[in-house]
Structure 1
């Protein structure tokens, strides 16, 4: 009985799907003992539901273009390359690097990563690059003797770096021996003392 009434109700109102669906919902609610919404409130629910059930495409958003022809937000981009097209990660990184002036430090870091190839295996195992600031490469050596040797080779090292990076990127190479521990004990120092010597080199 209930199914036939529902079918008749659906056929009678089949031309208006939102009303038919609401009628079936009302019948189910009445069967559960719930009260039907009356008056203006009911009409508003039907009106809002019918509007939501309509399948229509939304209005097309207008596209605005600047004087130089670059598409602005709010529309569709035409066929071909556009400033709003998805950008590759590599392209975005390169742009950030260029804008922030990281080109030289990153290039130097990439070359320092190949220190053993540039300096040679015999020197690379005795001297390690520490910093690069203002065109000056600082190298820490395991002994004073190796620091002296790096100082003697600095023009050759600079030439190798600049052949990879470009002229005058590395303007100086400074080599230092091992950092010796302090021999100073207490607040007083004997006058005329020579201080710590290179005991470790």
Structure 2
């Protein structure tokens, strides 16, 4: 009874035992030096089948705390926690300084294409940053992408993606051409080479005329 009265939980919570079929899940201990939101979300998602058992949610959460965080829990006033919502609130408040900075769509305006960077690499880098933003606004993303391509701001996001694929296709065709040339050079059957169409202008100039067409 003395232990119950000194607990941060109310007597009602302390007196309730876990369900007979309950098996303790494995959690990475929280030591007070990481993002509390992330730990709490992981805990809630793992305990989703027991969300209606408020007492279990409270008492089991304390087993995920370790070190400094466990010491903090025992500094809470006796019988001050009446629900898991209250425990979550004081936990987040205590370690709010460790919260990760949530990036918004405006962050994409800081992604600028370097003068020596290929459009393919720029698109890839832009997409990686965009994927980190939860609920990213597509209109802002498009505007930020255009802003990042200051040398040619008229190009849209979709057109830039097409150009990125175009760069990849050019590299692929170049590699294929070099491979075929080497094969013909190394084989003994190159005494009667195949006849290829000859162009009066470089093939690259021809393809450039329709590279942006469907």
Which bracket does the TM-score occupy, shorter chain normalised?
Answer: under 0.3
Select the structure of larger CA radius of gyration. Answer: 1
Q: TM-score, normalised by structure 1?
A: 0.26
Say which structure, 1 or 2, has more relative contact order (CA 8 Å, 6+ apart). Answer: 2
Q: Comparing both structures, which one devotes a greater share of its residues to strand?
A: 1
Q: TM-score, normalised by structure 2?
A: 0.25
